Each structure stands twice: as structure tokens, then as C-alpha cells.
């Protein structure tokens, strides 16, 4: 058992070497405890993903494709985007505690994670990935919905994110502009799933960090029209009505629980 858990430690050490080893002198990070190394690596990686994805996407939709995807009067101001970056960066150190704790629990055998797909086979991996995805979708939907329905949670946590309530105030940088507790609560289903479903550790880490890219995407106000994806068209409605489209990756949970509003139907209704 200890030998198998050592595979997880070996993997996180590799991630530390890739990120910290490439960006910091060894004497600065190698003396740190393993847990702190993991947090520092997660913080640096998450910050890089946030800025690289945000800057590239903003440059593409607001400059290269100016007036193609977003009308000129709907482009958020530089001030609005800087505020979003400020809120996100203030919360980022706290966000990174969650994946660091999940890694610690995995390394100590407290979850149902496995290290190699060959340990379970591809059929089992795909089945368990589907269950993991379902738990995450269900969990984020209800966590997000309760952050609206329970008034103190909305007032003291989620309202920080909903100051961006018009198309010209939303940008890819708004994707992580949350109160830190709010952001952690909405990512928590990723960790809860580890205790329920056998999960490939690398897949879990990748999905956690893809959240930064996905949340940037759903805040750009561009409707991708790919069913059943809960794209930016749906999420823009959420930011304007506050009572619809709580889902994360797909429309399924909103459809199941009666909170779905389709942007195409909204557009058709305006044109009648």
C-alpha cells in the first residue's frame, strides 16, 4: 500500500519539478515542506493559466475579432477587467488550498484515487469518469443554486461575483473573480467525488485546472450554440436574471430542475 501511495507522491514531485524547477531557483523551494511546495506550484500554475488564457482570449475577441463576436458598445472597459483581475488575484492563494489539500488526502490514501489507468482498465476508467463528471455537475449546480437561494450566502459571498451583471461588464477575467470561500465551495464537488468514485489522479488534477479556462470561456458573452454545453450564452442570462442557468458544463441539471433559459429562445422572443 505504501509503495502504491508513493506513486502519487512521485507524480506531485514531478509537477513540482516542472513548475517550480522551471521558474524558481532550487534553493528557494526544495527546502519547503512537500505540502507547501504543492501549494506554491498550484498557485503559480493557476495564476499563469488565468493570465495566459484571459489575455489571449481577450486579445482575440476584443481586438482581432473586434465587432465580430461582441459589439463595440458591449466590450468591457479596462477598468472593469482590472477590477476582475484584482478580485481574482486576491482570492487565488485561497483557491489553491483546495487542490493542495486534495493532493495531501490522495497521497495519504484517504480517497478512492488510482494512479494508472492500467490499474483499472479503460472501460472502468471511462465509466468512473462519467460518474465523476455527473457528481461534479450535480454538486456544482446545487452549490451554485444555494449560493443564490440562501440570502446570507449570496449577500456575503456570491454577490462579489454578481456585480458583473451586464454584457459590457463581463469578460474572461470575471471567470475567477469570486469571494475566495465562494470559489472554493463551487470547486468542492471535484474533491467530494474523490471519496465516492474511483478516480484517476492525473485526470482530477487536469480537470481542476481546466476550470480556470472553462470559467473564462463562459464569461465572454459569446454563445457557442453547441448542445448540451452550458456556454457563455446561457451564463450571460444567469448574470442578468440571477435565477436561471446555474449549471456548469452542461444544460442537463437546469433542464432537470426547471431553471433552464435558452439564449436562442430569448433572442427569438425579442424579435417577435
Torsion angle in degrees (nearest 10) through CA of 205, 208, 210, 211: 180
**Alpha carbon distance 212, 150 (integer Å):** 26
**Alpha carbon distance 210, 24 (integer Å):** 24
**Alpha carbon distance 174, 161 (integer Å):** 8
Task: Provide the residue-wise pLDDT of the chain in tens; the chain has 272 residues.
Answer: 689 999 999 999 999 999 999 999 999 999 999 999 999 999 999 999 999 999 999 998 888 887 777 777 778 888 989 999 999 999 999 999 999 999 999 999 999 999 999 999 999 999 999 999 999 999 999 999 999 999 999 999 999 999 887 777 889 999 999 999 999 999 999 999 999 999 999 999 999 888 888 988 888 877 777 889 888 889 888 998 889 999 999 999 999 999 999 887 766 556 55
Cα–Cα distances in angstroms (integers) from residue 169 to residues 43, 118, 195, in the given order: 26, 47, 38
Residues 6 or more apart from 170 whose CB is under 8 A from it?
76, 164, 219, 220, 221, 236, 239
* 8-state DSSP, 111: S
**What stretch of H or E contains 114?**
strand 113-114
Chain CA centroid to CA 100, Å: 15
CB 213 within 8 A of CB 192: no
pTM: 0.92
Amino acid at each position: 500500500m505504501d509503495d502504491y501511495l508513493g506513486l502519487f507522491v512521485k507524480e506531485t514531485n514531478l509537477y513540482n519539478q516542472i513548475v517550480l524547477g522551471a521558474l524558481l531557483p532550487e534553493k528557494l523551494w526544495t527546502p519547503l515542506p512537500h505540502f507547501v511546495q504543492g501549494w506554491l506550484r498550484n498557485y503559480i500554475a493557476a495564476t499563469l493559466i488565468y493570465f495566459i488564457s484571459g489575455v489571449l482570449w481577450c486579445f482575440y475577441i476584443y481586438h482581432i475579432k473586434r465587432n465580430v463576436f461582441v459589439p463595440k458598445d458591449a466590450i468591457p472597459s479596462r477598468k472593469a477587467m482590472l477590477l476582475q483581475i484584482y478580485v481574482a488575484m486576491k482570492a487565488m492563494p485561497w483557491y489553491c488550498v483546495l487542490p493542495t489539500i486534495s493532493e495531501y488526502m490522495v497521497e495519504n490514501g484517504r480517497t478512492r484515487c488510482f494512479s494508472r489507468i492500467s490499474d483499472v482498465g479503460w472501460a472502468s476508467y471511462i465509466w468512473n469518469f462519467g460518474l465523476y463528471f455527473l457528481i461534479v455537475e450535480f454538486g456544482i449546480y446545487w452549490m451554485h443554486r444555494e449560493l443564490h437561494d440562501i440570502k446570507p450566502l449570496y449577500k456575503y459571498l456570491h454577490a462579489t461575483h454578481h456585480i458583473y451583471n451586464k454584457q459590457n461588464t463581463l469578460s474572461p477575467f470575471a471567470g475567477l473573480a469570486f469571494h475566495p470561500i465562494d470559489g472554493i465551495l463551487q470547486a468542492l464537488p471535484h474533491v467530494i467525488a474523490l471519496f465516492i468514485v474511483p478516480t484517476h489522479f492525473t485526470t482530477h488534477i487536469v480537470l481542476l485546472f481546466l476550470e480556470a479556462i472553462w470559467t473564462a470561456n463562459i464569461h465572454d458573452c459569446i454563445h457557442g450554440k453547441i448542445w448540451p454545453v452550458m456556454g457563455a450564452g446561457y451564463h450571460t442570462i444567469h448574470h442578468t436574471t440571477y435565477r436561471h442557468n446555474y449549471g456548469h458544463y452542461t444544460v442537463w441539471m437546469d433542464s432537470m430542475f426547471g431553471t433552464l433559459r435558452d439564449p436562442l429562445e430569448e433572442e427569438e422572443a425579442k424579435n417577435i
